[in-house]
Structure 1
Amino acid sequence: MLENLTIRSSRVVDLNLVKVRLSTNLEDFAAYSYFSAFAEDESAPADYEVVCVDLDRDDIPAELYADRTDRTFRGKRFKGGYYLVHYFGEPAHLITVGRTFYVFGRSLEKTVWPYFVKHILTVHSADHGFLHLKAAGFELPGAGATLLVGRNGAGKTVFLAQACLNGARFLSNTHTLVRDGVAHGVPSSIRVRRDQCFGELIDKHDLTAHMESGDYVTDSSTLFESPQISTARVRNVVIVDYDPARPQGLMPISPAAAGTFMEQFSFAVTTYGLKDDLLAHHGDFDTYVDSLARMRAQLTELVEGARCYRANADMLAKEVRDSTLKQLAE
């Protein structure tokens, strides 16, 4: 019966190494605005599919989905209106059929980026030997990629934007997949707010504010003249930790310190609370433990093969910015 749902719009989202078909019974779906890259052919094959069924749009009998809801940790949490970490919304019913995820509820755009993108990138990484990180990134000409990690509000987006406005090439805003020292960026929209860093860019490109959040949603090709890249070898790992009260600079730290921090603030399984989801995906203890061990070893390999820094840099100050980017490029 699930295959007979009325689908009124469907697009294939390009996440670089992963293609996801996003389908819905709505004519226009707010979740499409989260993404910046789509397959030109809407009939193109996809690795995964997310089908969002809005219960206000169609009168869907509860017996179609209620008894088929996933009995996993995540399935139970969805029914309580808890999606992932600090993301909440209307109660929803999650049904997983292979690589297709059906979700029945209301305002389901709140599940797409907060949960499904993170989940899909993580299980895809587990299945194909990648490490999924919460990390922004850019490439300095001839100097490889710099990954930016840090707590929320530490200044990663400002650091990324100022680097890309001053010669760096954009790699990723939020999600990065890594294997064998090579970073693969995940295309997405960029949400910015009117402040000292982005105010001029918002006016220059005549961006329209989101009606609910007041933020502005755009993409890297609009904000930055330098081209976006999809892949680059990692040269630097930078933990962004901006505090104007402390001395400015780019301070080398040990790989061990960087790895310890990243396991809590960058390693997707930990950062997004996906341990239960990954266990459900693998289905057995041994595979799950082996998968986690492999990804942790990849994280150690990444930081040991890179130059690791802690950055307290006011990237809006020209002298500080120039000095920081020069040091990363050396």
Structure 2
Amino acid sequence: MKTIQLESYYYQTPFGQLIINCAQENRAITDPVLGEANYKKTISNTKYNITFGADSSPKSSYRNSQFAKGLHLGHHIGLPGQVSMSTDMLNIVLKNGCLNDYTKIFWNYALKLYLSTMSFQHSALHLKATTLSDKNGNALLVIGKGGSGKSTLAEKLNLFGYKTLSNTHTIYKDGYVWGMNTWIRKRSENSQHYIPPSPLKTERFAKLKSIIIFEKNESPEYHEEPLNIEHAINFIIQFGLATCNYDLKEDLSELFESSLEYLSHSQREYFLLTKMLNSVPIKYLTGDIHNNSTLDKILYNIESN
């Protein structure tokens, strides 16, 4: 068995300490992806270890069988490898993996699984959402399909005093949201690139005030309407809830002794989502955010809640 010297690096998250263990030459695995953040309140003080490149003897699992074929998560493919996990650790080894390979797997799989595992354990929701805080420190949650314009809308709102708490990963619990300081994917017609996490260790915790489901279009027509709870739940399960959106059901179910225990936690996730949507206004907005008139209407709508 190959033995390597590991060094540990620490990140503060809404759930406590995320500890990254890797060879010294691979220190930059997480740096391009995850930045520092302040949280004046945290959900727990849990320690969770993610280890890269250290050989292990993983037990038989669905995800490990997929990793052996280079199928990591959803549409993400790469080098074959091994993966083992529990409620407080994740170990990943890629065959002939280099720094770039491990950086991709941290973003495409490890960070998603960590946040969803912690959320399951602590009765929180892990959401794929852009989150901003207004001038009063209250949070706006923006949810939409991939490429729907969430990041672009956030950039526009930044010009009017809104601060981005998270671009992709948001945690919700008991009326509050926590944002993760991660890199931001920028899409163009034929390519994409990533903007590094903010170098500033800013506060990323706020009380949730409202939710919008946003969809960009190039029409000059602006449209808004309130959503009933049933429609909102269905949309967020499909496009906002990390468990479903990232297809982590198999992974999370293997952390429990039985499928029935997993289903009990999954039902609680549905209850928490329903409770969140009943606590704040939620609307559907669509329009051309590059049109000043449309942007004025979006701002008026958001600030009138």
Could you tell me the TM-score, scaled by structure 2's length? 0.86
1:164 is displaced (CA, Å) by 1.7
Asked if 1:100 is matched to 2:74, the reply is: no
Pair member with larger Rg? 1
- 1:89 aligned residue (71, 75, 78): 78
Read off the aligned partner of 2:245 and give its amino acid letter: T
Residue of structure 1 in register with 2:283 after alignment: 309
Alpha-carbon shift at residue 216 of structure 1 (Å): 4.1
Alpha-carbon displacement from aligned partner over 1:204-257 (angstroms, at most 9, x marks no partner): xxxxxxxxx7624233467xxxx9542222222111111213721333222221
Paired position in structure 2 for 1:168: 162
**Match among 205, 208, 214 for residue 231 of structure 1:** 205
Given the superposition, is the C-alpha separation of residues 143 and 186 from structure 1 closer, same or farther in structure 2, using an over 3 Å criterion? closer
Distance 2:159 2:256 in 1: 42
How far apart, in 1, do the equivalents of 2:266 and 2:86 lie? 24
> Would the aligned equivalents of 1:16 and 1:230 in 2 still touch at CA under 8 Å?
no
CA distance in 2, matches of 1:254, 1:100: 39
**Partners of 2:172 and 2:295 in 1: CA distance:** 27
Instruction: Read off the aligned partner of 1:252 and give its amino acid letter.
Output: P
- Distance, in Å, in 1 between the alignment partners of 2:102 and 2:73 is 13
Considering only aligned residues, what root-mean-square deviation do their CA atoms show, in Å? 2.6
Matched letter for residue 14 of structure 1: Q
Residue in 2 that maps onto 1:218 = 196
Q: Name the counterpart of 1:61.
A: none
- Give, in angstroms, the shift of residue 12 of structure 1: 1.3
Whichever structure has more strand as a proportion of its residues is: 2
Structure 1 unaligned residues grouped into runs of 5+? 40-44, 55-63, 196-212
Q: Which residue of 2 aligns with 1:21?
A: 19
Hey, what does 1:188 align to over in structure 2?
A: 182
Cα separation, 2, equivalents of 1:143 and 1:13:
24
Distance in 1 between the 2:86 and 2:117 partners? 15
Amino acid at match of 2:302: L
Corresponding residue pairs, total = 291
What secondary structure, in the 3-state scheme, does the structure 1 residue paired with 2:30 have? Answer: helix
Q: List runs of 5+ in structure 2 lacking aligned partners.
A: 39-44
Report the TM-score, using the length of structure 1 for normalisation.
0.80
CA 1:15–1:315 in structure 2 vs 1: closer, same or farther (change >3 Å)?
farther
Match runs of 1:132-171 below 5 Å: 132-142=126-136, 144-171=138-165
**Aligned AA for 1:218?**
P
The residue aligned with 2:223 is 249
Q: Distance in 1 between matches of 2:46 and 2:264?
A: 27
Cα deviation for residue 117 of structure 1 reads 0.7
Percent identity among equivalent residues? Answer: 23
Q: Is the 8 A contact 1:170 1:228 kept in 2?
A: no
Instruction: Tell me how far apart the structure 2 counterparts of residues 313 and 120 of structure 1 sit (CA, whole Å).
Output: 35
2:235 matches 1:261:
yes
Structure 1 counterpart SS, 2:72: strand
Secondary structure of the structure 2 residue equivalent to 1:33: coil
| Deviation, structure 1 residue 175 | 0.9
Q: Distance in 2 between matches of 1:265 and 1:133?
A: 9
